[in-house]
């Protein structure tokens, strides 16, 4: 069988390009801003916000992150299976039926409820091994976390449990991405109360961590020696009120291809429900990318793609698998289409897509689907590829 040219295959269709140099540089910048004596946990949950958890996880550790954070035990297992042996913390509520599995793979877990405490301690008793645990305090987000009284009680029990390495205590901000610092300062006050009480009991786990990306950008990290960065590592704004500056580089771009070029005659309309009708004869083109790939249906008659340096408005409804654009430019079937650019090429950025879709910057990247192949670039050269839907990845020969 002839060897397949994966680069040619992947770039002939819809695909994402992930710039690992940009990702590494964003991580180094966040570490610098977190300051001396603070480690950085790179958050690679949800497939590294759509960028690919294995490739990003490896790159993050090489770039100076000291650990990785994921939301689910399965996500940590994916990293272990790929040979990643650095520290991993599950920052979400652990699936109590998978706690044994997590412990066997040296995955640190978060405890914040009686159930999660019991699951971890029972597992260490039963397996005769040790578990690494971080305690999450609810200081005002009111999602997962233990309220201060329970947190202090759980901290004492974790500290006393013979099978537990009580490695960290943390909380999570609700509003660090807003300009008003008051909710954040209030959460810091609550956290300080918990830490003071624990100090009085001589319970001082090695890590205290509080800040997410917005918290780092706004320098909200008192008392902590670790920060947890997600969105800014990908070069994306936590919000319009707390954006990243120009030092950060957007890591992901999304591309497709012109599959059909044709003339839409005056009076003819496009796509489901005919929401766009040509006023005069115009050249249009279709691309094999739709809302099942992760671009939002909200972009119908609102967003644009770039082809050959020209802005081509999306016309009609974005379909599940295809989108039609108006193409006031010389183009050919097979030409490359930039769907999401990095801000330098006139294409929609992730922030543009978020605004047009009435969502944040997180959703557009997280939604990029498993059927979209990823190409990883270093030194401007493709170094590896991943086709999530096939579970296949590999390196390009250099």
Ligand X SMILES: *Cc1c(COP(=O)(O)O)cnc(C)c1O
- Total number of residues shown for the chain: 398
| 91 or 325: CB nearest ligand X | 91
Q: Which of 31, 51, 220, 228 binds ligand X (CB under 6 A)?
A: 228
End-to-end CA distance of the chain: 22
- CB distance 174 to 187 below 8 Å: yes
Residue 351, interface with ligand X (CB under 6 A)? no
**Shortest distance, position 238 Cβ to ligand X, whole Å:** 5
| 91 or 198: CB nearest ligand X | 91
DSSP for 332-389, please give it: -TT-EEEEE--SSSSSPPHHHHHHHTTS-SHHHHHT--TTS-EEEEETTEEEEEEEGG
Interatomic CA distance for residues 61 and 41, integer angstroms: 9
Tokens of 244: 């990243």
| 20 or 34: CB nearest ligand X | 34
Interatomic CA distance for residues 240 and 12, integer angstroms: 35
Interatomic CA distance for residues 360 and 355, integer angstroms: 7
Closest CA to 218 of 172, 184, 174: 184
- CB distance 349 to 235 below 8 Å: no
Residue 40, interface with ligand X (CB under 6 A)? no
Q: Kindly indicate which of the ranges 53-61, 126-134, 229-237, 279-287 contains the residues binding ligand X, using the contact rule CB under 6 A.
A: 229-237
| 90 or 131: CB nearest ligand X | 90
* Number of residues located near ligand X, criterion CB under 6 A: 12
Q: Kindly indicate which of the ranges 154-162, 209-217, 320-328, 381-389 contains the residues binding ligand X, using the contact rule CB under 6 A.
A: 209-217
Contacting residues for 153 by C-beta, under 8 A, at least 6 apart: none
Interatomic CA distance for residues 108 and 207, integer angstroms: 13
**Shortest distance, position 353 Cβ to ligand X, whole Å:** 17
Collapsed DSSP state (helix, strand, coil) of residue 90: strand
Residue 361, interface with ligand X (CB under 6 A)? no
| 214 or 284: CB nearest ligand X | 214
- CB distance 90 to 96 below 8 Å: no
Residue 31, interface with ligand X (CB under 6 A)? no
Tokens of 248: 């950060």
Q: Which residue has the tokens 């991943």?
A: 386
Q: Which of 231, 242, 244, 331 binds ligand X (CB under 6 A)?
A: 231
**Shortest distance, position 365 Cβ to ligand X, whole Å:** 11
Q: Write the interaction track for ligand X spanning residues 131-170; mark x where CB under 6 A is met and - where it is not.
A: ----------------------------------------
Q: Write the interaction track for ligand X spanning residues 75-94; mark x where CB under 6 A is met and - where it is not.
A: ----------------x---
Q: Which of 58, 60, 191, 229 binds ligand X (CB under 6 A)?
A: 229
| 228 or 255: CB nearest ligand X | 228
Q: Kindly indicate which of the ranges 81-89, 222-230, 289-297, 366-374 contains the residues binding ligand X, using the contact rule CB under 6 A.
A: 222-230
| 213 or 300: CB nearest ligand X | 213
Sign of CA dihedral 210, 168, 236, 221: positive
Please list the active-site residues. 45, 272
Q: Kindly indicate which of the ranges 19-27, 148-156, 212-220, 267-275 contains the residues binding ligand X, using the contact rule CB under 6 A.
A: 212-220
Collapsed DSSP state (helix, strand, coil) of residue 138: coil
Interatomic CA distance for residues 386 and 10, integer angstroms: 9
Q: Which of 213, 250, 300, 349 binds ligand X (CB under 6 A)?
A: 213
Q: Which of 17, 18, 24, 43 binds ligand X (CB under 6 A)?
A: 43
Contact residues: ligand X, CB under 6 A: 43, 45, 91, 172, 212-214, 228-231, 238
């Amino acid at each position: 069988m002839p060897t397949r040219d994966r680069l040619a295959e992947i770039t002939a269709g819809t695909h994402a390009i992930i710039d690992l140099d940009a990702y590494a540089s964003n991580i180094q910048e966040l570490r610098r801003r977190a300051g001396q004596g603070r480690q950085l946990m790179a958050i690679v949950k949800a497939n590294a916000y759509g960028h690919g958890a294995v490739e990003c996880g490896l790159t993050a550790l090489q770039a100076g992150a000291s650990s990785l954070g994921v939301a689910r035990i399965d996500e940590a297992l994916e990293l272990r299976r790929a040979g990643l042996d650095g520290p991993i913390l599950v920052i979400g509520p652990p699936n109590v039926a998978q706690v044994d599995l997590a412990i066997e793979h040296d995955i640190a877990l978060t405890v914040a409820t009686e159930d999660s405490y019991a699951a971890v301690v029972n597992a260490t008793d039963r397996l005769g091994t040790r578990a690494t645990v971080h305690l999450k305090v609810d200081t005002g987000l009111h999602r997962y976390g233990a309220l201060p009284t329970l947190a202090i009680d759980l901290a004492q029990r974790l500290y006393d449990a013979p099978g537990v390495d009580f490695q960290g205590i943390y909380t999570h901000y609700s509003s660090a991405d807003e300009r008003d610092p008051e909710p954040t300062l209030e959460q810091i006050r609550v956290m300080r109360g918990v830490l003071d009480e624990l100090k009085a009991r001589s319970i001082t786990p090695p890590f205290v961590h509080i800040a997410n990306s917005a918290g780092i950008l706004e320098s909200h990290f008192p008392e902590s020696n670790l920060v947890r960065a997600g969105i800014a590592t990908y070069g994306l704004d936590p919000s319009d009120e707390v954006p990243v500056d120009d030092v950060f580089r957007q890591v992901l771009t999304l591309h497709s291809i012109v599959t059909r070029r044709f003339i839409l005659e005056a009076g003819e309309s496009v796509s489901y429900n005919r929401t766009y009708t040509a006023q005069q004869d115009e050249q249009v083109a279709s691309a094999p990318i739709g809302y099942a790939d992760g671009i939002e249906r909200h972009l119908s008659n609102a967003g644009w793609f770039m082809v050959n340096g020209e802005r081509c408005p999306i016309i009609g409804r974005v379909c599940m698998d295809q989108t039609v654009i108006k193409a006031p430019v010389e183009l050919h079937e097979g030409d490359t289409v930039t769907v999401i650019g990095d801000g330098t090429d006139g294409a929609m950025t992730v922030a543009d897509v978020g605004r047009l879709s009435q969502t944040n910057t997180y959703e557009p990247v997280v939604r990029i689907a498993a059927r979209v192949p990823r190409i990883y670039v270093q030194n401007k050269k493709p170094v590896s590829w991943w086709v999530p839907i096939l579970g296949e990845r590999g390196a390009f020969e250099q």
